[in-house]
Structure 1
């Protein structure tokens, strides 16, 4: 089997992995939004993690891999929500 023939299977595996990793992050985001504080997350971690997932999304664009692009954009949005909650909790 050629490498080109494996590409659709790789995308399916990537999509499943993306769903699982994103879904595992959602309860933490929900808890952060629900409690309205993100004191357990440092600004450094939020910045590094957010930059990392943004770079993963860019990598997905280069590879033209929708599972990488979509997953990392969704996770980046979640990180931004957590950052917003952290910012708001320190203001008020």
Structure 2
């Protein structure tokens, strides 16, 4: 097997996985105070542009990877911009109790 598909696959995996812990922490804690709004806004724009670029080229690896990263980083940005009760509503809709609280389900 050639090196390029292996490197591309590993890059995809690292990119997608990198946002998962932050998204999960935001859901669990409902705390976004330490997240930079500007950084996530630029990140979301970057992924939207990469997704568009992949779409224009018809490159499914770019489309899928950047689409998933756009969803995850967009979710984090939306949670950052939501008021506290909005964060709580989203987390409760996902059925995740706040960190440190027992699951009352």
Q: Structure 2-normalised TM-score?
A: 0.66
CA distance in 2, matches of 1:24, 1:43: 17
Does the 8 A contact of 2:23 with 2:72 survive in 1? yes
Q: For structure 1, which runs of at least 5 residues remain unmatched after alignment?
A: 1-5
Between Structure 1 and Structure 2, the one with more helix by share is: 1
Aligned residue pairs total 85
Please, what is the CA RMSD of the aligned residues? 2.2
The alpha-carbon distance between structure 1 residues 89 and 34, as it changes in their structure 2 partners (threshold 3 A), is: farther
Tell me: CA distance 1:59–1:10, structure 2 relative to 1, closer, same or farther (3 Å). Answer: farther
Aligned partners of 2:34, 2:83: CA distance in 1, in Å?
12
Structure 2 stretches lacking a partner, 5+ long = 87-105
Shift of 1:70: 0.8
Shift of the 11–64 alpha-carbon distance from structure 1 to 2, 3 Å rule, reads farther
The CA deviation at 1:30 is 0.8
